[in-house]
A and B are shown apart, each in its own frame.
Chain A
Amino acid sequence: AQSVTQPDIHITVSEGASLELRCNYSYGATPYLFWYVQSPGQGLQLLLKYFSGDTLVQGIKGFEAEFKRSQSSFNLRKPSVHWSDAAEYFCAVNTGTASKLTFGTGTRLQVTL
């Protein structure tokens, strides 16, 4: 079965600084990969997804992620963080065999001014 690991439970960055959130997956083939964001009191919203092709994908709100097959990783990045980016970020995978996602435990991002 596939699994997702987000090794950082909590990250704090200063506004304007760059950000990288880590995600590693375990699956025999290349899964479909996703990043979701959850603001306080809200449901989850899709930031971006990777199915195939270009390994650098662009998402909403200025986020991007890079798929690295050799490292089984799909890290999320943003060049300059805004205070409104403070939220919890979830990496997820789908193996394409069913309409369901397997989520990581999430990384809580705190942004200091």
Chain B
Amino acid sequence: ETGVTQTPRHLVMGMTNKKSLKCEQHLGHNAMYWYKQSAKKPLELMFVYSLEERVENNSVPSRFSPECPNSSHLFLHLHTLQPEDSALYLCASSSSRLAGGFAGELFFGEGSRLTVL
């Protein structure tokens, strides 16, 4: 496989469920990102993992919990979500600025469409 792969592509969950989104990149990058895409809103950066440092958006609720076990894998753990969390969650990767490689090009996966009932 090549590029950025996200699973599952679609997820329906109740507000009391716990689920996880998975992202895997095969591009040799060392920075990974979670973005939230909602209708009629700009893409919202949720989390950045760069050279194993974590950068958070302080406005992201604690019901979203990221995990980055290595530079190729990124998870987004979901628990007690709300209906307004329904959105497309996009994972991306890039070379890290700290490694002198960031050139603004993010490589995106196809996204995980989340519906919270």
Give A contacts to B, CB under 8 Å: 4, 9, 32, 34, 36, 41-46, 49, 51, 90, 92, 94, 98-106
Interface 1/0 per residue, B67-97 and A, CB below 8 Å: 0000000000000000000000010101011
B69 CB to closest chain A CB (Å) equals: 19
Given contacts A49-B104, A100-B45, A102-B45, 11 further A-B contacts (CB under 8 A): A32-B104, A34-B104, A43-B92, A43-B111, A44-B90, A45-B108, A49-B103, A94-B104, A99-B97, A103-B43, A106-B42
If A98-B97, A100-B55 touch, does A90 touch B43 (CB 8 Å cutoff)? yes
Give B contacts to A, CB under 8 Å: 4, 31, 33, 40-43, 45, 48, 50, 55, 90, 92, 94, 96-98, 102-106, 108-111
Q: How many A-B residue pairs have CB under 8 A?
A: 60
Would B42 and A105 count as touching, CB distance under 8 A?
Answer: yes
Closest 8 CB pairs of A and B: A43-B108, A103-B43, A99-B97, A44-B108, A99-B102, A103-B42, A46-B105, A43-B110
If A34-B104, A49-B104 touch, does A104 touch B111 (CB 8 Å cutoff)? no
Q: Which residues of A contact B109 (CB under 8 A)?
A: 43
Would A101 and B40 count as touching, CB distance under 8 A?
Answer: no
A67 CB to closest chain B CB (Å) equals: 14
Q: Which residues of B contact A103 (CB under 8 A)?
A: 42-43
Q: How far is the CA of A32 from the CA of B94 in the complex (A)?
A: 15
Q: How far is the CA of A99 from the CA of B90 in the complex (A)?
A: 16
Q: How far is the CA of A49 from the CA of B43 in the complex (A)?
A: 18
